[in-house]
Amino acid sequence: MALILITGASDGLGRALAEDLAVSGRHRLLLHGRNAQRLREVADATGGETFLADFSSLAEVGSLAAEIAGSYDRLDVLVNNAGVGFHATGTTRELSADGYELRLAVNYLAPVLLTRKLLSLLRRGAPSRIVNVASVGQQPIDFDDPHQERGYTDVAAYCRSKLALISHTYDLAEELAGTGVTVNSLHPALYMPTAMSKRSGMEIVDSLETGVAATRRLVDAPELADVTGRYFEIEKEARASEEAYDPEYRRRLGELTRDLLKDF
């Protein structure tokens, strides 16, 4: 029985993915969220186990990892799905508990930190998989202004965090080559009928089922067991923004990431 951790499982894509995975009865689900009531509802529907943590606090991310590592001796799949969306016209900059730009912290730094702290469990669970939920919306970080103190918009902050996650996926795949741990990223669907999409003010384009199927494929499709270091748009392999393949961009992103996470 595969042990699968889904972050952001209390709503939207994460909840729907958990419910889909539960149908087969072949998976043991670890469900992360920050709303206890909604998370309990998902647990009741799926039989999963619940873990509370607010990803705007990196200390809570670390505590979540420690709780899981203290309870299990392996992990078969990590789905980094939790995230903060955007308001299409949003221009009010928000900060995380650690003083970082909020979307950079929640959508990028939190999953990177969680993954790092759970790598030993994933190695013990090998063959295992890391699935990073990203987006077709991508922009490079301005390394002279990583927290976007100038010219802030929600959309830009969101897109920067998602390209960072894709870029990190490529580096991590190279690092984990030969270990049996695969890592891929995907844009699951465009503006699904989720609370995040509705808050953006954009029109719904794709169904939630489309996003679930695309993500589920990376979780347990046999034909992708050995596939790593790829970016998918729904179910097709695609090319991310050019910066994701630029060694200098990835080097600078790695330096920034290590600096921001050094105390956690």
d(CA 9, CA 12): 8
**Span 108-115, average pLDDT:** 98
- Give the pTM: 0.96
Structure tokens at 215: 């993500």
CA distances from 158 to 36, 69, 101, 164, 257 (A): 25, 30, 10, 10, 16
**Residue 217 corresponds to which amino acid?**
R
- Which of 127, 252, 138 has its CA nearest to residue 187? 138
What is the domain range of residue 151?
Answer: 2-261
CA distances from 1 to 161, 174, 180 (A): 33, 28, 18
- Which of 190, 166, 178, 174 has its CA nearest to residue 80? 166
Catalytic site positions: 158
Say how far residue 128 (Cα) sits from the centre of its chain. 16
Contact status, residue 169 vs residue 231, Cβ threshold 8 Å = yes
**pLDDT digits 0-9 by tens, 13-45:** 999 999 999 999 999 999 999 999 999 999 999
Q: DSSP 3-state assignment of 204?
A: coil
Which residue has better confidence, 16 or 193? 16
Q: DSSP 3-state assignment of 80?
A: strand
Contact status, residue 159 vs residue 236, Cβ threshold 8 Å = no
Contact status, residue 188 vs residue 205, Cβ threshold 8 Å = no
**Is it the case that residue 177 has pLDDT exceeding 70?**
yes
Direct distance between the N- and C-terminal alpha carbons of the chain, in angstroms, rounded to an integer: 32
Number of domains in the chain: 1
Instruction: Give 202's pLDDT tier (boundaries 50, 70, 90).
Output: low
Total Cβ atoms within 10 A of residue 193: 14
**Residue 158 corresponds to which amino acid?**
Y
Say how far residue 207 (Cα) sits from the centre of its chain. 20
**pLDDT digits 0-9 by tens, 71-86:** 999 999 999 999 999 8
* Domain CATH code at residue 100: 3.40.50.720
CA angle 41, 46, 50 (to 5 degrees): 60
